[in-house]
């Protein structure tokens, strides 16, 4: 089927209009009229991912994070971002990104389900619709109260992580958990306002963590990648259900850094 037909199916469920105003989603390189038999799914369009997509014989690459985020003034082989665009076009691979539209309409609910939250509500509302509020993240109740230390173990098990970074009293009790996959500095205020005891997110800096704890919110920094790689398997299931004619290949789960 054609790339544009795949895009229509994706955007029926994850319309670009749901993306936040700063974002850049949709077809970023290649031909909308490209005949697509095989799709490669990844979180980021790195050099390694693009090479893997080529090796797999993929006709289309779909990632969560956009390769083109800030405007490009030229597309040459002299810049590492535009060099990837050149490689994609030369390989005739159509490249599509679905970022905050997926965050709002997919990732938020999925992350709450993975962490077993009940009585959930949107953490950070971005729009109100006829079907209710939409937005980033979820906040809800854990199955039972636990210590922050126990919650860390729980989060690592649920997200299949080797380690997390923690701000807060490890013996303190938590029962209401907020989750905001990706970079969660902006989720601290909504989590406090929604009465969360702990926020699970990524990319929390030193002062962000200290300030959150001072306001009664513990933070489990599970990493940007560690909270968002769930996109890959979820979109694989979506495409296989909606478009069974496609061959869907996924990038392996490889965390971008190591902790020694």
Domain ranges of the chain: 3-99+229-250, 102-225
Instruction: Write down the pLDDT at residue 9.
Output: 98
For residue 239, how far is the Cα from the chain centroid?
Answer: 17
* Cα(58)–Cα(93) distance, integer angstroms: 7
State the average pLDDT over residues 66-86: 94
Given a cut of 90, whether residue 214 has pLDDT beyond it is: yes
- CATH number, domain 3-99+229-250, options 2.40.40.20, 3.40.1390.30, 3.20.20.70, 3.60.40.10: 3.40.1390.30
The answer to whether 142 and 172 are in contact (CB under 8 A) is no
Mean pLDDT in the chain? 97
Q: What is the pLDDT of residues 141-161, one digit of tens each?
A: 999 999 999 999 999 999 999
Indicate the pLDDT class of residue 245, thresholds 50, 70 and 90. very high
Confidence band for 131, pLDDT divided at 50, 70 and 90 = confident
**Which CATH number does 102-225 carry?**
3.40.1390.30
Report pLDDT for 258.
Answer: 86
- pLDDT, residue 228, reads 98
Contact of 95 with 67, CB cutoff 8 Å: yes
Q: Would you place residue 259 in the very low, low, confident or very high pLDDT band (cuts 50, 70, 90)?
A: confident
Are the beta carbons of 226 and 157 closer than 8 angstroms?
no
The two domains 3-99+229-250 and 102-225 share their CATH topology (first three levels equal):
yes
The answer, yes or no, to whether residue 248 has pLDDT greater than 90, is yes
Residue ranges in the chain assigned as alpha helix (H): 3-13, 47-55, 80-90, 100-102, 108-114, 148-159, 188-193, 206-214, 224-228, 230-242
């Amino acid at each position: 089927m054609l790339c544009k037909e795949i895009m229509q199916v994706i955007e029926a469920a994850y319309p670009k209009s749901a993306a936040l105003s700063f974002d850049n989603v949709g077809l970023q390189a290649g031909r909308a009229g490209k005949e697509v038999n095989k799709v490669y799914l990844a979180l980021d369009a790195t050099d390694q991912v693009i090479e893997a997509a080529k090796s797999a014989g993929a006709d289309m690459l779909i990632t969560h994070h956009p390769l083109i985020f800030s405007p490009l003034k030229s597309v040459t082989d002299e810049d590492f971002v535009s060099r990837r665009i050149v490689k994609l076009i030369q390989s005739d691979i159509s490249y599509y990104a679905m970022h905050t539209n997926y965050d709002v309409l997919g990732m938020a609910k999925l992350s709450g389900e993975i962490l077993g939250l009940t009585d959930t509500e949107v953490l950070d509302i971005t729009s109100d619709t006829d079907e209710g509020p939409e937005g980033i993240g979820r906040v809800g109740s854990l199955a039972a109260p636990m210590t922050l230390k126990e919650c860390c173990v729980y989060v690592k098990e649920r997200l299949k992580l080797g380690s997390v970074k923690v701000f807060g009293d490890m013996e303190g009790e938590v029962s209401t958990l907020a989750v905001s996959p990706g970079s969660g500095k902006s989720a601290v205020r909504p989590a406090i306002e929604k009465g969360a005891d702990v926020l699970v997110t990524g990319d929390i800096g030193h002062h962000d963590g200290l300030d959150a704890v001072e306001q009664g919110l513990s933070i489990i920094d599970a990493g940007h990648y560690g909270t968002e790689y769930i996109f890959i398997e979820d979109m694989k299931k979506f495409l296989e259900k909606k478009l069974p004619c496609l061959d869907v290949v996924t990038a392996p789960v490889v965390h971008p850094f190591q902790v020694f």
